[in-house]
Structure 1
Amino acid sequence: MPSLDPAERRLLLVHAHPDDETIGQGASMARYVAEGAGVTLVTCTGGELGEILVPELEHLAYERDGGLAEHRRGELDAAMTELGVTDHRYLGGFGTYSDSGMQWAPEGHPHHGSAIPADEAPERAFWEADLTEAADHLVAVIREVRPQVLVTYDQFGGYGHPDHIQAHRVATYAAALAAVPSYRPDLGEPWDIAKIYWSAMSASRMRDGIRRLREAGDDNAFEGFDPDRLPPMAVEDDVLSARVEATAYVGKKMDAMRAHATQISVDGPFFALSNNVGDEVWGVEFFRLAKGVLGPVGGDGLESDLFAGL
C-alpha cells in the first residue's frame, strides 16, 4: 500500500491528441480518480489532422471546412466526464499548437510500418514548436499541480507519430526544468517529480489477444499485425515496470472511448478485442519506469501502483 494518503496523490499525464489518453490510460485514470487522487491531463494539440470515422462529420476535415479540433475538444470533455477527470488542459491553452499530421513510412525506410512526419506541416505544428517555449507551458503546470507521478510516451512516441515524440521531449524537458530552483521563478516554486513512467503495451498480452481472436474465427482481427512481429508500441514484458489493475473501470474506459467517436469505431478491433477476449485486455495497463525508484513489486516482478514506494 502507498504511504501517501490517497488524497495527497497527484498524477499528471501528457498526451499528444484527444483520445490518446483514453486508449492508453483510461482505466488507470478512472481508478485513481475514484480512489481520491488528483488527476491532471495535458493535451498538446487539438488533433486537427485526425481521420474522421463519422461520415456526416467529414466536412470538419482539415483539408475541407476545418473545425475538427473544436469538435474533438467536445469529445475530450465528454470522455473526461466519463472518467471523472475534472482537470484537463491544453498545452499553452487550446489552439496554441496544431496537430502536425503524419504519414506511414514506406518500404525501405528504417521505420517502415511506423509513423513519420508528414511532408508538410500546418501552421503552429507541435512537431515544429520551440522546445523550451513548449516546455515552459508545462513547467508552469507542473509547479502548480506538483505531481508525484508523470506519465507520457517513450522516446519513439509508441509508434513514431511526430506529435507523440514531441510530447515525450516536452514532458521530459519540462520535468527537468521544473525542478531547477533558479529556472524561471516566475513560473512557480520548483518541483521535482518523483517518478516518471512511459506508457507501454504488454507484447505478450497483445500477442495472446490477437491469437485468441483469430482462433475464435475472426481472421481479420488486427489485419496486418503479425503476432510474432508486433509494432514498437508493444514491449516485451521484461522491460515493463508497473501493471495497474483497473478492470473495475473498464466500463468507464469504454464509454470514454465511445465519446471519441470521430476517432474510434465501436466496430473496430479495439472493441472487438475487449468484447471477445475480456475486460483484462483494456482494464490492465502497463508502464515503464523512466525516472525514480521502483517500489515494492508483486510476484510478477511489477509494481501494482504508480505511487508504489512514495
Structure 2
Amino acid sequence: MSTPSSNAGDHRLLLVHAHPDDESIGQGATMAKYAAEGRGVTLVTCTAGEMGEILVPELEHLAADREDRLGEHRRTELDAAMKALGVTDHRFLGGFGRYRDSGMKWHADGHAIAADDIHDNAFWRADLTEAADLLVEVIREVRPQVLVTYDQFGGYGHPDHIQAHRVAMYAAQLAAVPSYRKELGAPWSIAKIYWGAMSESRMRAGLRALRDAGDTTTFEGMDPDGKLPHFVTADEDLACGVDATDYVDTKMAALAAHATQITTDGPFFALSNNVGATAWGIEFYRLVHGELGPVGEDGLETDLFAGL
C-alpha cells in the first residue's frame, strides 16, 4: 500500500457524478487510495439512476416502466460501493430524489443523446443556477482543494453527465465569489479542477490484449488501431495519473456492488483479467483549472494534490 504524505489529513477531494456507479467506474481506485491514506473524499451524485438498464433478471420489476423503484435500489448499491471504497461522505445533490435520471438513447454515431421522453424532474431539465447553488453549499462546507467531474461532453454524451459537468464547473465559480449567496457559507476557491479521462495508449494496449486473447465482444466494435470513442483522451492532453494499483481489488468490489448496472463478466472485469491491475488501477485526469504540480518521468503528476 502507498504511504500518505505528511499533510494528507488536510487534503479534501470532491467528486461530482451523475449516477450511482459512475464514480466507481471512473475514479474508484483513486477514491479508495485517498480514503485509505486519510484524505477527505466527498462524493456528490446528482441522480439515483432511475432510468438505468437492469442486468439482474429478478430485479427487472424495479424498472422505470414497471414499479419505478430502481432509484431506491441503486441507493443501496451506492452505499455498498462506498463502504467497499472506504468513503464515508457521499450525498445526493439536493438530497435523494431531488433530481431524476434523465435517461438517454444512442445516436447513430455511437454516442449518447437525450431521450425522446424526459421526466419533468429530470436532471437534464434542472435550472443551472438552482442546481449549482445546491453544490455551492457543499463546496463551501467541505472546502475541497480538488474537484473532479466530467468533460464538457460528459465522456460519452449522456445528458446527465453533461449537466453534472455544467453544474460542477459553474458551482466552482460561484462558490469562490465573496458576495454571492452569503447564506450558503463562506466563499471557497477550489485550487485544482480535473476532468476524468482514459489514456489512449493504455486503452489501445488493453483492447489489443483482449483481441489477442480471442475476446471480440468486450468493447465490441473498438479497433485497437482504429478510431476510439470520445471518452478516450490523447496522452499528450493528460495531466495526472494516479497509481492506485494496490486498490484494484477494492475498485472491483465497488463495481460488483452496482450489480444492476455492471456484470462481473463485463468489460471492466474482462479488461482487468486480461491486462492486469494497471488496466483500471491507474486513473487519469485532465487539468482544467489550477497549476500543474511536480511531475514524474512520464510528464504526469502522480497525485491530484501535487503542488498544493
Partner SS, residue 117 of structure 2: coil
Tell me the secondary structure at the aligned position of residue 43 of structure 2.
strand
> Is 1:113 the equivalent of 2:117?
no
Q: Distance in 1 between matches of 2:195 and 2:210?
A: 28
2:209 alignment partner in structure 1: 212
Q: Is the 8 A contact 2:132 2:167 kept in 1?
A: yes
Cα distance, 1:226 vs structure 2: 2.3
CA distance in 1, matches of 2:93, 2:205: 37
- The question of 1:188 aligning with 2:185 is answered yes
Alpha-carbon offset, residue 225 of structure 1: 1.4
Task: Say yes or no: does 1:307 pair with 2:305.
Answer: yes
User: Is residue 2:87 matched to residue 1:100?
Assistant: no
Task: Give the letter aligned to residue 271 of structure 1.
Answer: F
What is residue 155 of structure 1 aligned with on the other side? 152
SS in 1 for 2:272: helix
Identify the match of residue 27 of structure 1 among 16, 26, 29: 29
In the alignment, what sits opposite 1:275? 273
Q: CA RMSD in A?
A: 1.1
Deviations 1:22-74 (A, max 9, x none): 00000000000011100000000010000000000001000111100000000
User: 1:244–1:306: 8 Å Cα contact kept in structure 2?
Assistant: yes
Distance 2:4 2:189 in 1: 19
- Number of the residue aligned with 2:229: 231
Identity %: 71
Q: Aligned equivalents of 1:214 and 1:238: distance in 2?
A: 25
Q: State which of 62, 80, 84 in structure 2 corresponds to 1:60.
A: 62
Q: Which 5+ residue runs of structure 2 have no aligned equivalent?
A: none
Q: Is contact 1:3-1:309 (8 Å) kept?
A: no
> Unaligned stretches of 5+ in structure 1?
107-111
2:144 counterpart SS class: coil
Q: Which residues in structure 2 correspond to 1:134-149 (within 5 Å)?
A: 134-149=131-146
Residue 204 of structure 2 aligns to a residue in which SS? helix
Q: Which amino acid aligns with 1:200?
A: A
Asked if 1:7 is matched to 2:9, the reply is: yes
Identify the residue that residue 255 of structure 2 maps to in structure 1.
257
Written as runs of structure 1 = structure 2, the 5 A alignment for 1:40-79 is: 40-79=42-81
CA shift, 1:217, in A, is: 1.6
CA apart distance, 1:137: 0.3
Structure 1 residue 172 displacement after superposition: 0.2
2:138 is paired with a residue whose SS is helix
Tell me the matched-pair count: 305
- For 1:14 and 1:127, locate their aligned partners in 2 and report how far apart those are by CA, in whole Å: 15
Q: 1:276 to 1:2 in 2, by over 3 A?
A: closer
Q: Following TM superposition, by how much is the alpha carbon of 1:4 offset from its aligned partner in structure 2, in angstroms?
A: 6.8
1:3, CA displacement in angstroms?
Answer: 7.7
CA distance in 2 between counterparts of 1:239 and 1:296 reads 16
- Report the residue type matching 2:306 in the other structure: A
Q: List per-residue Cα deviations over 1:163-220 (Å, max 9, x = no partner).
A: 0000000000000000000000000000000000000001111111011111112222
Report the alpha carbon displacement of residue 224 of structure 1 after superposing the two structures with TM: 1.5
Question: CA deviation digits over 1:264-283, x for unaligned, max 9?
Answer: 01011211100111010010
| Counterpart position of 2:246 | 248
Structure 1 residue 95, shift from structure 2 partner: 0.1
Deviations 1:240-283 (A, max 9, x none): 00000000001110000000000001011211100111010010
List 4+ stretches of structure 1 deviating above 3 A: 1-4
**Contact 2:4 / 2:37 at 8 angstroms: preserved in 1?**
no
Q: Is the 8 A contact 1:158 1:233 kept in 2?
A: yes
In the alignment, the residues of structure 2 paired with residue 66 and residue 3 of structure 1 have an alpha-carbon distance, to the nearest angstrom, of 45
Kept in 2, the 8 Å contact 1:10–1:148? The answer is: yes
Letter in 1 for 2:117: E
